[in-house]
Amino acid sequence: MKLPKLINAIFLLFVVSTVTAQEFKLGKVSVAELQQKVHPKDSAAVAAILYKKGTSRFIYDKDQGFVIVTDVENRIKIYKKEGYDWANQDVFYYISGGVEESVVFSDAVTYNLVDGKIEKTKLKTEGTFKENRSKYSGHKKITLPNVKEGSVIEYRYTIKSRHLSFMRDWDFQEEIPVNYSEYVTYIPEYFVYNVRQKGYILPKVKSEFIQGSFTVYEKERDLVSGKPSYSTFKKEYQEAKTTYVAENFPAMKDEVFVNNVNNYMSSLQFELAMTKFPNESIKPYSTDWNSVVKTIYEYDDFGPELNKTGYFEEDLKSLLATAKSNEERILLILNFVKSNVGWNGINGYSCDNGVRKAYKEKTGNIADINLMLTAMLRHAGLKANPVLVSTRSNGIAFFANRTAFNYVIAAVETDQGNILLDASSKYSSPNILPLRALNWQGRLIRKDGTSEAVDLMPNTISNDNVFVNYTIDPTGKIDGKVRRQCTEYNAMVFRNNFESVKQDAYLEKLENESGKIEISDYSRTNEKELLLPTIESFSFTGSNLCDLIGDKIYINPMLFFAKTSNPFKQEVREYPVDFGYPFMDKFNITIKIPDGFTVESLPQSGALTMEDNLGAFKYHIVQNESVLQLSISHQINEAIVSNEQYDMLKEYYKGMVAKETEKIVLKRI
Amino acid sequence: MKNLCCALFFLIFTSYSFAQKNDYSILKISDSLKDNANAVVRFDLTDISILSQRNMVIKTDRAVTVLNEKGARAVNAVESYNKRTSVKNIEAIIYDAFGNEIKKIKKKDFKDVSAADGATLASDGRYIYLEYTPISYPYTIVYSSEIETSNTAFIPRWLPLDNYFVSVEKSIINVKYPNTLGFRKKESQFSVFDIKKTDETDTKLSYSAKNILAHKPEDYSPAFSELYPKLTMSLEYFNLEGIDGNAKNWKEYGKWFSEKILTETIVLPEETKSKIKALVGNESDPLKKAKIIYHYVQEKSRYVSIQLGIGGFKPMLAADVDRLGYGDCKALSNYTRALLDVVGVPSYYTELYGDSDLRDIDEDFFTIEGNHVVLCIPDKENYVFLECTSQNDPFGYQANFTDNRKVIVIKPEGGEIIRTKIYEPKSNAQISKGNYSLDENGVFSGVINITSEGSQYGRKGQIERFQPHEKEKHYKDYWSNINNLKLGRIAFTNDKENIRFTEDVQLTASNYGVISGNKMIFTVDAFNQNSENVKRIRNRKNPFQIQRGYLDTDEIEINLPAGFSIEFLPQNYELKGKFGEYKTEIIKNDSNKLTYKRSMFLNKGKYSNKEYDEYRLFMEQVSRNDNAKIILTKN
């Protein structure tokens, strides 16, 4: 797989340069800021972050140990009414064991310019809300008073968290322009974090070391008197101060065919790599892929779950009793898990219920299902391992990071390469994964702790082969037959499309989307035979498919299969185009023209190809007396097309649409 | 004693459920109930006991067989609760297709979440619901719940059939009430199904319905609640979020709401009062005063959804809105009312359904309903309604959300049902004027001026506020018939005074004229293709409705490329019928200049199911003629 330019940008970590922090302070809103009517660099912006400043410090608390205190100041300009939502802010908090992380909003003020003077309206308690959304998380919210077009709002919030294993992300980009964003972390020498920057544009970074200290209280009991005595001592340590500054970052925009726009947003992610407290041995969390996977493997709800076998042994024995080959075993086990354990819709690479309970209750999360699958495959003597995955909606796992993944599948290593399996989807089969799991690369973990990257993007072409055979009558009415065969991913998509749709409703939709034809003799083959291509065939009549102009008949030979508009309408493309999988659409069309008519003109045969073997379009037409034969194919060989190739792709589609909309002209003899 | 009562009640109740112990095997479901069904309600028993004006207990026992993924929502195993409504009991048992028990789910295993979603900032409502992952279909869930509430103002409606694609074997409702609270009920559309009233005295009421087949939704249908049976119930003496009330009709409700809920909510600080008086100045015309104030509110405030306690029904104090500059529909409408009061313009708080579909408050039967609030200002014989949550709408603009429907206007002397403004089809106008040229390669370049009024104003007005990429997308969708479209200059004029929105757009496109051999073919109507795709529906059952109607007129000048002559021009075309009128005309000005005129008038109206295909064919004729092509030959 070819990785687009994105990756290069991301590996340019820590561009060290001199950073001078700008002077911003809450409360110092200027008349100029209030007077500004539009954002100077983005006149369409509904609002803008004038400045956002955050610090995270580790404070030693004698009861709790180190606590991360994050303090954020924000000043936002509202330009338009559509930007009013920026005056409602919320910050989530975790709840663990009934204890909430502390989130406190303060200094929230709205500024307006009234008759040339600055008017301040402070937020009171009536505008603050707290909501426990579930047992695990809640939100603190504020809504600022007196907001109008032109207002500037400010607020501060402070989060105190004991969750040292992961600090919160810091986003430098938003849906609105960010004029200035600064984030400073003070991290004591006892903690080492992996810091990851992602996005197309990166902030400036400056690092230095400073001295930090905390005070420890100790209580001792006099051995003779039993009286307690207190002593305190001050502990000094080194602290890494890192300052990140982003200036004038543009607003994020969403586009079509993007798998997840957040992949391209400029932000920082932190992950605890290790702790090294004085007089204690170093405790690694994750620093590279090997230690990441080792850490994950050692989690109670991961590795040990793979070793449990007792719960299924009996069932598996009878299931595999007559199996002859490994291929057969793989299929039997995959189908067994699919039909016995339902996916509860929850992602995750750690088990929720645990495999044993999931098996018994017939429901579980992704890890419950696919770790169970892996364990069964191993038990059957196959070389099976789990593969960590980040789903499309979760974004790409760019870095060695245990929080980057949210999904797991199984892989069987064979001489012909890996066979990837996911038992959470009804229509998945060996090497055909649900689309959610198709996201660049996964990480395969072996028992011995080694790991390797696994390409998740499909390389094989998914076909859509359509055979159409029709006759035109002198009134322009068309009678014909269609046979459509889909393979691989196209077959999966096809199966998903008619899942739990009544045939009647499916046909009604198909008729309406196909130029209002009337369909009869409909049949489907291999609906449930997942390893075979799906086949759909039907007869149709259509009275709206030709134009009768004068005594001529104009007809698009591809009928309703023609692509009539270019999906790529944007002039400039910011992010790569994601097709999901490589594919080929192929049409074989036979047309019988009516008696008493002859061909006046035909579209010319032709072909289009893209550079780098990205794709090709072929259009071939021949006439044999009153029968026309067409063969048309459209093939895209890469699942992901970089934005640098966008113009070429757009031109290709333009050429294809132009060709596919050309008409045959028939005239009366 | 009270406890004992409860215990007794519980005993009776449980023995009843045992008596209900059914065979949930799917083999027991008749085939006709499976037609078109994603789920089959095996039985649905609702027991409502109104114990006093401030106490109501609702018990539900329901068994639903889910046939496929889409049927899961028919289980409806969810209850909402808050400070005044508690969930006493909730549980479910799951059976496989053969009726064998798979799993029991207790209250603690239900999910418990806040009702505040992304759109609501704060709410003290919560939901408790069942989340179940099926391993195979079909399966059956037997669900039971018991909730207790003091909110007797809201007696749940009984809909024996409550959604499409669901069939019902049996549905029963039993209601008990003291004869002193003025219980009332209304049956609507009961004749559609076989519904039996099994009991009715002055303290109790029961109905049962059997074997209701599944129905499919059909485009352009009236609302579900207008098509299928519904029992609505109401008390004359009720309690609303802790406040006792009494009303047996809309008039009394209006009086009570004025006196008990709205009273003292419109007090404003003196400073604001004098500011508003100064703002209005010497203006004496009430509507002009109202216009000044409406504009003031639009500039000053913003919409924020807050649903806390009685705040779900009672507006925030006007003084608070004045200070904070935000509020929900109730708060902003009532605040506007307060400001109007300062300058002596009477106005009334008005409850209704805000929806693009026309939806009435039931004039003949009072029960608290509606989902939105606007403000009503009398204008001689008529009324003007103000949407106070919008920062952009012109004064009195209602199309597409609150137009043409019955609403309850709350006057101090009593409530009154009034129909809101009707947007007549001819006033929903779009006038397009422009021209386009084709060059010898088929490249299109054009200029167009589009003016939209009436209900079409509302759809277009928002483009002005789009981000550049949204604007581009809008036009590329609007002119999806023009491939390879490139937009040039775009300008808007939004005349809020006359409610008229004007777009001026320049555009170009390659390959608009398709060249085959020595011919060029193109569609005459480039700028306004009929976009309404009326689906073919096999065997339509429901009547259908066109809610608003419109009138589009286009006049486009076409410049043909030099060096070509016309081989074929489409004929002028006219289509007239009950649904509307459509007309196109091509005038040849000289050898390479044409004028294309098009007008399309769609009437509003209600029609029977039989007329649907006629309508589809009418629109199909329009689409086909909109696609008429000109053929040119190279000289």
Contact B473 A149 (CB under 8 A): no
Q: What is the mean pLDDT of residues A280-294?
A: 76
User: Do B394 and B466 share a domain, yes or no?
Assistant: no
Mind listing the pLDDT tens digit for each residue in A376-418? 999 999 999 999 998 887 777 666 666 678 899 999 999 889 9
Q: Which of A507-516, A526-535, B103-112, B195-204 has the highest mean pLDDT?
A: B195-204
Question: Does residue B15 belong to any structural domain of this protein?
Answer: no
Query: At residue A574, does pLDDT exceed 80?
Result: no
Cis previous bond, B138, omega within 30: yes
Point out the domain boundary residue: B220, B243, B266: B243
Partners of B302 in the β-ladder? B326
When pLDDT is cut at 50, 70 and 90, the band that residue B308 belongs to is: low
Average pLDDT value over all residues in chain B: 91
Query: At residue A3, does pLDDT exceed 50?
Result: no
Say which residue, A68 or B124, is predicted with more confidence.
A68
How far, in Å, are A302, A493, B584, B600 from residue B575 at the CA level? 70, 42, 9, 9
Query: At residue A11, does pLDDT exceed 70?
Result: no
- Structural domain boundaries enclosing B444: 425-634
Predicted pLDDT of residue A429: 92
User: Do B433 and B406 share a domain, yes or no?
Assistant: no
User: Do B412 and B431 share a domain, yes or no?
Assistant: no
Contact A344 B568 (CB under 8 A): no
Question: Does residue B4 belong to any structural domain of this protein?
Answer: no
When pLDDT is cut at 50, 70 and 90, the band that residue B13 belongs to is: very low
Q: How many CB atoms lie within 10 A of CB A579?
A: 18
Predicted pLDDT of residue A282: 84
Contact A657 B483 (CB under 8 A): yes
Predicted pLDDT of residue B310: 64
Half-sphere exposure of B416 toward its Cβ, with a 13 Å CA cutoff? Answer: 12
Under DSSP, the state recorded for B363 is: T
Residue A80's closest chain B neighbor by CA? B465
Contact A663 B521 (CB under 8 A): yes
Question: Does residue B6 belong to any structural domain of this protein?
Answer: no
Q: What is the mean pLDDT of residues A345-363?
A: 85
Question: If one looks up domain A462-668 in CATH, what number appears?
Answer: 2.60.120.1130
User: Do B294 and B168 share a domain, yes or no?
Assistant: no
Number of domains making up chain B: 3
Contact B514 A662 (CB under 8 A): yes
B109 to chain A, closest Cα gap in Å: 12
Which member of B122, B483, B514 has the closest CB to residue A141? B122
A551 to chain B, closest Cα gap in Å: 11
Which member of B36, B123, B324 has the closest CB to residue A127? B324
Q: Specify the CATH number for the domain of residue B158.
A: 2.60.40.3140
- CB A179, CB A250: distance < 8 Å: no
Question: Does residue B618 belong to any structural domain of this protein?
Answer: yes
User: Do B97 and B226 share a domain, yes or no?
Assistant: yes
Point out the domain boundary residue: B189, B210, B243: B243
Residue A255's closest chain B neighbor by CA? B469
User: Do B404 and B439 share a domain, yes or no?
Assistant: no
Mutant choice from A114, A146, A548 vs B, greatest count of B C-beta within 10 A: A146
Mind listing the pLDDT tens digit for each residue in A45-97? 999 999 999 999 999 887 778 899 999 999 999 999 989 989 999 898 888 77
Tokens 């063969």 found at: A631
Nearest to A107 by CA among A28, A203, A216, A206: A28
Query: At residue A238, does pLDDT exceed 50?
Result: yes
Burial A12-23 (b: 16+ CB within 10 A, else e): eeeeeeebeeee
Predicted pLDDT of residue B9: 37
Contact A134 B111 (CB under 8 A): yes
Q: How many CB atoms lie within 10 A of CB B8?
A: 10
Residue A663's closest chain B neighbor by CA? B516
Mind listing the pLDDT tens digit for each residue in A115-145? 999 999 999 888 888 887 777 778 899 999 9
Which member of A143, A340, A654 has the closest CB to residue B484? A654
When pLDDT is cut at 50, 70 and 90, the band that residue A4 belongs to is: very low
Range in A225-234, B85-94, B256-265 the model is least confident about: A225-234
Q: Give the architecture-level CATH label for domain A291-455.
A: Roll (3.10)
Contact B36 A345 (CB under 8 A): no
Predicted pLDDT of residue A350: 82
Contact B326 A570 (CB under 8 A): no
Contacts of A662 in chain B (CB under 8 A): 514, 516
Residue B101's closest chain A neighbor by CA? A361
Query: At residue A42, does pLDDT exceed 70?
Result: yes
A174 to chain B, closest Cα gap in Å: 15
Mind listing the pLDDT tens digit for each residue in B592-609? 899 999 999 999 999 999
- CB B402, CB B416: distance < 8 Å: no
**Six-digit token pair at A36?**
């500004």
Contacts of B282 (CB under 8 A, 6+ apart): none
Predicted pLDDT of residue A345: 81
When pLDDT is cut at 50, 70 and 90, the band that residue B87 belongs to is: very high
Contacts of B324 in chain A (CB under 8 A): 126-127, 145-146
Q: What is the mean pLDDT of residues A238-263?
A: 80
pTM: predicted TM-score of the whole model, two decimal places:
0.79
A495 to chain B, closest Cα gap in Å: 14
Say which residue, A273 or B214, is predicted with more confidence.
B214
Point out the domain boundary residue: B219, B243, B267: B243
Question: Does residue B188 belong to any structural domain of this protein?
Answer: yes
Predicted pLDDT of residue A217: 66
Mutant choice from A362, A498, A572 vs B, greatest count of B C-beta within 10 A: A362
A363 to chain B, closest Cα gap in Å: 6
User: Do B44 and B186 share a domain, yes or no?
Assistant: yes
Residue B300's closest chain A neighbor by CA? A148
Contact B114 A133 (CB under 8 A): yes
Query: At residue A259, does pLDDT exceed 80?
Result: no
**What's the angle, vertex CA B561, arms to CA B556 and CA B563, rounded to 5?**
145
Q: What is the mean pLDDT of residues B487-503?
A: 96
User: Do B431 and B335 share a domain, yes or no?
Assistant: no
Mind listing the pLDDT tens digit for each residue in B401-425? 999 999 999 999 999 999 999 999 9
ipTM: 0.76
- Domain ranges in chain A are 30-285, 291-455, 462-668
- A-B CB pairs within 8 A amount to 140
Query: At residue A13, does pLDDT exceed 90?
Result: no
Cα dihedral B452→B454→B456→B462 (10° resolution): 80
Question: Does residue B12 belong to any structural domain of this protein?
Answer: no
Question: Does residue B9 belong to any structural domain of this protein?
Answer: no
Average pLDDT value over all residues in chain A: 86
**What's the angle, vertex CA B20, arms to CA B15 and CA B25, rounded to 5?**
145
Q: Specify the CATH number for the domain of residue B289.
A: 3.10.620.30
B558 to chain A, closest Cα gap in Å: 20
Contacts of B326 in chain A (CB under 8 A): 143, 145, 147
User: Do B231 and B125 share a domain, yes or no?
Assistant: yes
Contact B483 A253 (CB under 8 A): no
Q: Specify the CATH number for the domain of residue B563.
A: 2.60.120.1130
Contact B469 A127 (CB under 8 A): no
A156 to chain B, closest Cα gap in Å: 19
Residue A651's closest chain B neighbor by CA? B484
User: Do B97 and B218 share a domain, yes or no?
Assistant: yes
Contacts of B102 in chain A (CB under 8 A): 362
Mind listing the pLDDT tens digit for each residue in B106-121? 998 898 888 776 567 7
Please determine, looking at this structure, whether the domain spanning A30-285 carries the CATH number 2.60.40.3140. yes
Predicted pLDDT of residue A254: 65
Q: What is the mean pLDDT of residues A319-332?
A: 93
- Residue A104 to residue A158: CA distance in whole angstroms: 5
Question: Does residue B11 belong to any structural domain of this protein?
Answer: no
